[in-house]
Amino acid sequence: MKTPQWIGVIDVNLALLGIHLRDLTLEVGPSLDVLAVPFCADTWRQREHGLAPAVHLGAMLSSSESRLGARGTVHTAYMPGIAWSGISISAAVEGVYRF
């Protein structure tokens, strides 16, 4: 039985700047992602490792009257490679509960 190998972005290293505007918090910053992508589709054993420059954008909406809020983020990375290069885009929408 084969064990699955890690494919894709392994680690995200962010440096964020946040701006708080009343009930809205915006965040933006650069990132340097660590990646591992398959080099050969037949065996999946050869992988290319490297660093990918990226940018991170996020927003959180919260009310001063409620502990509930919502948060959305978009993370875009350019993955340079020997076999291929491409762009990775990930997005997330979350519910937030503040203590």
Sketch the domain layout of the chain as residue ranges: 8-97
Question: CA-to-CA distance for 52 and 32, rounded, in angstroms?
Answer: 6
Amino acid (1-letter code) at residue 38: P
- Closest Cα to residue 84, out of 56, 48, 58? 48
Question: CA-to-CA distance for 69 and 31, rounded, in angstroms?
Answer: 25
pLDDT computed for residue 11 by the predictor: 75
pLDDT computed for residue 52 by the predictor: 86
pLDDT computed for residue 1 by the predictor: 47
What mean pLDDT do residues 16-23 have? 89
The vertex-87 CA angle with 84 and 88, nearest 5°, equals 115
Percent of the chain as helix, strand, coil, to the nearest 5:
0, 70, 30
Q: Tens of pLDDT along 25-81?
A: 999 999 988 887 766 655 556 677 788 899 999 999 988 788 899 999 999 988 887
pTM: 0.72
